[in-house]
Amino acid sequence: AGRAGVLPSTRQVVLNLTAIGTANGYVQVRTCGSGSTGSTVNVLPGQAVANSVVVALDTRQRLCIVTSVSMHLIIDLEATVH
């Protein structure tokens, strides 16, 4: 937080995530340390798939992005929640 237009008072962010698959896989966008098991986007080779997600920032104002395979990601910050 405190960069890219995210103020230190931000508690959640709204993102638009586009994943471009190189193999069958998924992306998880989650609060760091949450241990979430759901996927935000599922992809197949050569696909570009987009999805919106609202994610809470952790106590250090971070979020974690986990991919199951190597892929390209485009992440747009749509909004912040204070």
**Tens digit of pLDDT for each residue in 6-51?**
898 999 999 999 999 999 999 999 999 988 789 999 999 999 999 9
**Which pLDDT band, with edges at 50, 70 and 90, does 2 fall under?**
low
DSSP 11-77: -EEEEEEEEEESSSEEEEEEETT------SEEE-TT-EEEEEEEEE--TTS-EEEEESS-EEEEEEE
pLDDT at residue 35 in the model: 83
pTM: 0.89
Query: Are the beta carbons of 9 and 82 closer than 8 angstroms?
Result: yes
